[in-house]
Amino acid sequence: MISSQDPDPEQTSLDGRHRRAEASRERIVAAMIELVKEGHNTPPAEAVAERAGVGLRTVFRLFKDMDGLYRVMQEIMLKRLAPLAAAPITGETWRIQLRALIQRRSRLFEEMMPLQVAGDAHRARSPFLQKEYAQFVRLQRDIAIALLPPEQLADQSLVEMLDLAMSFDSWRRLRIDQRLSADAAEDIMAQLVARVVGP
């Protein structure tokens, strides 16, 4: 007879399975992130399973499909970057604040670039990633133009050029396609923004 103080064997078994599933889930996500950071933009489930040390069936039992795995990877990336993104932008003038924002974005973009590029490769097949990307683009724009004074905001062409100049797409082009260092890419972005907003 099991007393009320004794552990329930069935519950203990369920708790153990849950812990093992969570551990496997964490290994799978870590394996996915490692592969992406190594340059594999669309790693197959087989490669993820092998790196995580689990069976292929375990991957799809825990994530159902690759979209679910990209979703969790995106959530982890956003959680890691949230403190840096949320820090207030300081500076005596709006131009100094823009420069501070460029410096911050260079750190953010550099950290997120492998995962974002991998997400982009999968985005056409994922409504979730399409929605997340649209929100990301809108957030970039809103943060940048919030620093502009009214006379600058009135110039729609300037707003559009500034949005493009400070975007992740520009950063990716500078870093990947033009093969510039992170410092050089930040300097180019700062010079471009300075020319857009004028003296």
Cα distance between residue 20 and residue 36, in whole Å: 24
pLDDT at 156: 96
Q: What pLDDT sits at residue 8?
A: 57
For residues 69 and 33, what is the distance between their CA atoms, to the nearest angstrom?
10
Question: Given this model, what pLDDT does residue 36 score?
Answer: 87
pLDDT of residue 111: 87
Contact 69/153 with Cβ under 8 angstroms? no
> Can you give the pLDDT at residue 91?
92
User: CATH code at 45?
Assistant: 1.10.10
Using alpha carbons, select from 123, 132, 124, 20 the residue that is nearest to residue 76: 132
User: Are both 51 and 111 inside the same structural domain?
Assistant: no
Task: Give CA–CA dist 56/49, Å, rounded.
Answer: 5
Mind listing the pLDDT tens digit for each residue in 148-186? 999 999 999 999 999 999 999 999 999 999 999 999 999
Same domain, 71 and 45: no
Q: Distance between CA atoms of 124 and 41, rounded to whole angstroms?
A: 14
The answer to whether residue 31 sits within a structural domain is: yes
Q: How far apart are alpha carbons 179 and 123 in whole angstroms?
A: 24
Please check whether residue 152 is in contact with residue 160, taking contact to mean a CB–CB distance below 8 angstroms. no
In a domain, 29, yes or no: yes
Domain that holds residue 100: 66-199
Q: What pTM did the predictor assign?
A: 0.77
Residue 87 sits in the same domain as residue 155:
yes
pLDDT at 53: 92
Query: Which regions in the chain score pLDDT beneath 50?
Result: 1-2
